[in-house]
Structure 1
Amino acid sequence: MTDNSLGTPAQLRDVDYMPPVYKAIPLGVQHVLAMFVSNVTPAIIVAGAAGFGFGSNSPDFPNLIYMLQMSMFFAGVATLFQTITLGPIGARMPIVQGTSFAFIPIMIPLVAGKGVDAMAAVMGGILVGGLFHAALGPIIGRIRFALPPLVTGLVVTMIGLALVRVGVQYAAGGVPAMGTEAFGNLQSWSVAMVVIFVTLGLKFFTRGMMAISAVLLGLLAGYAVAFALGMVSFGNVGRAAVFALPNPLHFGLEFTAAAIIGFCAMAFVSAVETVGDVSGIAKGGAGREATDREISGATYADGLGTAVSGLFGALPNTSFSQNVGLIAMTGVMSRHVVTFGAVLLIVAGLFPKVGAIISTVPIEVLGGGVIVMFGMVVAAGISMLSDVHWNRRNMVIFAISLSLGLGLQLEPSALQHLPDTPRVLLTSGILPAAFIAIILNLILPQELAGEATEEVSGGMHGAGAGLDPADRKG
C-alpha cells in the first residue's frame, strides 16, 4: 500500500523525487531484504558444485566466502549503474540488480567436481557474455520478436526444473552426503520443512514487508531450529578477515568455447527478461510505458554489471523481478531509494565476516529456502506460458523442445561420445530447448495443416471426441 506521507502522488511517480532521508533509507533496506537470499544463493550453489561449498574443510573454502562477499558488492555496483547511470549506461530507474539464477545450469557443468581451478573458465564466459549482453542495448527492442512467451516461458520453466534437484539434495543433507546413511535423515528434512512452512505461512497470512521477506524470515526460523539442534558452527567466522577489497582477476580468466557460447546465449534471454522488468516498473510505479532510452540503458547496465563482476570473481547480474513487485506495492518510484539499498550492499560486501556468517547457515536450511525459490521459478515460467495460444503448432514446438532439453539434462551420459564443448552446452538442457523453440517458432507456419478447424482441447488432441455435444463440459 502506498504511504501518502512520503509525498504527493505526482512525486511518488517521479524517478528523480527524493523522499525524506529518514524514510528513504528504510525503503532501501526493504529492497535489500527482498532480494538478499536470492542474491547470495547462486554463489553457494556454484561453489558447492565445484567442490568448495558448504561444510568444506578444504583450503579452497575461503573462496566461497569471497564469492558471497562479491555477490553483495557487485549487486550494489550494478544497481548504481541503473539508478545513477553512466552516459548511456543505466535506465535511471529504481532497478535492483542481483546475481542471476538463469546462468546456474550453464555454470554447473563447467565446474562440476573440478574445484576452484574451473572458475577461471566461468569468469571468462561471464566477461564475454556480459559484453555481448551490453552490445544488445541498441537493438534489444527490435529482436524481442524471437523470444515470444512460448520461448521465454519454456526457458524459465527449464531453469527452475534444472535447479529443483539441487534444492531437494540440500534439504536432504547436501550433495557431498549423497549415498551415506545420514543423507535424507529425519533431522535434515525436519529443519528444511520448518523453513518451507514458515515461508508459506508468512507469504499467505501476512501482508507488506513480512510477506515480501517470507523466504528470508523462513530461513531465519530454520536457522534458529538448526542452532538449537547443534547444527551451526561459527568456526569460519573467526577466520574471516574484518575488511577486504575486491580482488581483480581473483580466479583468473580462461576463455573456452563452451563457456562463451553458453553465457552469450543466456545473456540474450536475460536481456529480454530485463526488458520485461523495466516495463513492469514503469507500468506499476509510474503508470506509463517504458521509453526506448530506459530499455536500452537498462540492457547496457545489465551487461556491463555482469562483465565487471566477472573481472573480480563474481557471478552474472540481472534485474530482480521481486523488487519490481515491491515498487508496485509501495508506490515509490524514486531511484534514490534504491540507491540507498545499493550502497548498503556495497558496504556489506566489503566485510568478509558478513559472508562468513552466511556460510554458517546449514545446507538443510538453505535447501528449504531454495525449494521454495526454485519452485517459484518454475511457477513463473508456467505463468508466462499461460499467455500462449495453445494450438497444435505451439504444442508441437513446446513438446519437442521440452522433451529434448529436459531429457538431455536428466541423462547427460547420452552425449558422452561428443567433444567436451558441445557436450557441456547440450547437457545444460536449457540451451538446446531454447534453440529448438526459437528455430521452430521462426520457421513453422502459424497454422499447421488442418489446424484452423481442429483446435486442441483440454491439452490433448481429440479429448472430447465421441461425446455427444450435450454431454460435454465446458
Structure 2
Amino acid sequence: MTDTRIGTPEQLRDPNFTPALQTAIPLGIQHVLAMFVSNVTPAIIVAGAAGFGFGSNSPDFPELLYLIQMSLLFAGVATLLQTITVGPVGAALPIVQGTSFAFIPIMIPLVAGKGVDGLAAMFGGVVVGGLFHALLGTVIGRIRFALPPLVTGLVVTMIGLALVKVGIEYAAGGVPAKASGAESYGSWLSWSAALVVLAVTLGLKFFARGMLSISAVLVGILVGYAYAIFAGLLSVDAITASWQNAAAFSLPQPFRYGIEFSVASIIGFCLMAFVSAVETVGDVSGITKGGAGREATDREIAGATYADGVGTAIAGIFGGFPNTSFSQNVGLIAMTGVMSRHVVTIGAIFLIVCGLVPKVGGVIRTVPIEVLGGGVIVMFGMVVASGISMLSDVDWTRRNMVIFAVALSIGLGLQLEVLNVAPGAPNALQHLPDTLRILGASGILPAALIAIVLNLVLPEELAEESTEEVSGGMAGHRGEEPRGERV
C-alpha cells in the first residue's frame, strides 16, 4: 500500500521526485538488500567452475575477492547509468542493475577448470557482448517480434534448469568436495545448513511482512551463516583471517586478467544479449505500469537497453560480469509505490562503496558453500518459475507445441549429455569444432536458435490443422478431446 506520508500520490508516481532523506535512504538500502545475494552469486559460481580455491590461504583468494568486488561496484555503476543517464544511455527510471544469471551457462564452459587463465576469453566476450547489447537499443522495438513469450519463456526456463544442479551441489558440500570424493559431500551436516536457509527463507517470505519478507533470502543466509558457525562448518578464526587478508580500499584494475577475443565467447554473449535485452524491456514495462500506471515510452526502453549494454562493456574491461535489470526490484517498486529514480540512485552509491571495499567481499567469501546452496536453490528455482510464468502467456496451439518440444528436447538433451560427461570421455558434440562445441554445451543457445528459427519459418496455418494423436493422448488445442483411443 502506498504510504502518503512520504509524498502525495502524484509525487510518488514521478520518477524525478525525491522523498525526504530519512525516507529515501532506507528505501534505497532496501533495494540493495533485495538483490544483494543474487548479485554476488554468479561471481562465486564462476570462480568455483574455474577451480579457484576458496580458503583464505589459497593463492586464488585475492582473485575471488576481486570478482565479488567488481560485481558490487559495476552493479552500482550500471544502476547509475539507468537513473542519472548519460545522453541517450539510461531510462531515467528506478531500474536496479545487477549481475545476470542468464550468462552463467555460457561462462562456465569458457572457464571450467582453467583457473585465472580462462578469464581472458570470458571477459573479451563480456566486452563485445556488451557493445552488441548496446547496439540493440537502436532496434529493440523492431526485433521484439522474433522473441515472443514462447521463445523467451523457453530460454528463461532452460537457464533455470541449467542452474538448479549447481544449487544441489552447493547444498551437498560444493563441487571441490564432490570432485575429491570427500566423505563430507552430501552429509547431514552439509544438508542441515542448506535446509536451515530454506526454512527461514520460506517462513519469512510467506509469514512476514515488509523488509523481512522482501529480504527473505538474505536473512535466511545470515541465519544459516550463524548456524554454520554453531555447527562447526565455519570457524570464527577463518572469518577473522578473511577480514584481515582483505584490503580496506581498492580501485578496479583495467584488463587485470588480460583480454582475448574468442569466437565462441563472442557469439555466446551476443546471442544471450538478445534474451537479456528482452528481459529488460519487460522490466521497464513492469516498472512504469506498476509504479506510474502507464506504458513505457520508446525512449525509456531504448535508453534502458543502451545502459544494459554500456554497463556490461565497462564492467568487462575491469573484470566485472554482464549486467541486467533485476526483476525482484520491479516488484519492490510496485509494492512500495515509490517511483523515484533518486531512491535507487542512493542504493547504487551504496553498491559502489561496497565494491571499493574488498573487506566486504572478504566477509561474503566466508559464507559456507552449503549455506549459499540453500539460498541459490530458491533463486534458481524462481528462475525456472519465471520462465514457466512467461510460457503461461503462450497460446498452446499444435504449432507452438511442436516448436517447444523440438527446442527443449535438443537443448536440454545436449545440456544433460555434454555437461555431465567426465573429462576426456566421448560426448555428443566431440566431433564439432571447438567454437561450436562450447556454444552447444550449454544447451540454451541451441534451444533458443531452434525456437526462434522455427517460430519465424513454420506457417501459422499449422496451428489450425486437425490435431493428431501423440503419446499419452495429448492434443494440440486446449479444450479439445484427443481423437485417438484413450488409455
TM-score using structure 1 length: 0.96
SS at the partner of 2:137? Answer: coil
Counterpart in 1 of 2:423?
none
SS at the partner of 1:98? Answer: strand
Amino acid across the alignment from 1:231: L
d(CA) in 2 for partners of 1:456, 1:136: 40
1:81 counterpart = 2:87: no
Are the counterparts in 1 of residues 53 and 59 from structure 2 also a CA contact under 8 Å?
no
Counterpart in 2 of 1:281?
287
Q: Cα deviation per residue 1:162-186 (whole Å; 9 max; x = unaligned)?
A: 0000000000000011132211000
Q: 5 Å matches for 1:162-201?
A: 162-178=162-178, 179-201=181-203
Amino acid across the alignment from 2:293: G
Q: 2:475 aligns with which of 456, 461, 472?
A: 461
Are the counterparts in 2 of residues 404 and 433 from structure 1 also a CA contact under 8 Å?
yes
Are the counterparts in 1 of residues 399 and 463 from structure 2 also a CA contact under 8 Å?
no
Are the counterparts in 2 of residues 391 and 455 from structure 1 also a CA contact under 8 Å?
no
User: How many residues are aligned here?
Assistant: 470
Q: 5 Å matches for 1:347-362?
A: 347-362=353-368
Q: Cα deviation per residue 1:63-91 (whole Å; 9 max; x = unaligned)?
A: 11001111111000000000000000000
Counterpart in 1 of 2:424?
none
SS at the partner of 1:137? Answer: helix
Unmatched runs of 5 consecutive residues or more in structure 1: none
Q: Cα deviation per residue 1:109-137 (whole Å; 9 max; x = unaligned)?
A: 00001111100101100000000000011
Unmatched runs of 5 consecutive residues or more in structure 2: 419-426
d(CA) in 1 for partners of 2:167, 2:283: 26
Cα shift at 1:252: 1.2
d(CA) in 1 for partners of 2:463, 2:31: 50
CA 1:273–1:457: 2 relative to 1, 3 Å: farther
Q: 5 Å matches for 1:400-415?
A: 400-412=406-418, 413-415=427-429
CA 1:337–1:457: 2 relative to 1, 3 Å: farther
SS at the partner of 1:411? Answer: helix
% same residue: 75
CA 1:421–1:451: 2 relative to 1, 3 Å: same
d(CA) in 2 for partners of 1:307, 1:32: 22
Q: 5 Å matches for 1:27-426?
A: 27-52=27-52, 54-55=54-55, 57-178=57-178, 179-232=181-234, 233-234=238-239, 235-412=241-418, 413-426=427-440
Q: Cα deviation per residue 1:87-119 (whole Å; 9 max; x = unaligned)?
A: 000000000000000000000000001111100
d(CA) in 2 for partners of 1:134, 1:449: 36
Q: Cα deviation per residue 1:151-209 (whole Å; 9 max; x = unaligned)?
A: 00000000000000000000000001113221100000010000011111111111222
d(CA) in 2 for partners of 1:4, 1:244: 41
Counterpart in 2 of 1:16?
16
Q: Cα deviation per residue 1:284-316 (whole Å; 9 max; x = unaligned)?
A: 000000000000000000000000000000100
Are the counterparts in 1 of residues 32 and 351 from structure 2 also a CA contact under 8 Å?
yes
d(CA) in 2 for partners of 1:456, 1:21: 62
CA RMSD of superposed structures (Å)? 2.0
Cα shift at 1:464: 4.1
Cα shift at 1:55: 3.9
Counterpart in 2 of 1:435?
449
d(CA) in 2 for partners of 1:73, 1:20: 26
TM-score using structure 2 length: 0.93
Are the counterparts in 2 of residues 172 and 184 from structure 1 also a CA contact under 8 Å?
yes
Q: Cα deviation per residue 1:25-72 (whole Å; 9 max; x = unaligned)?
A: 000000000000000000000000001153475312211100111111
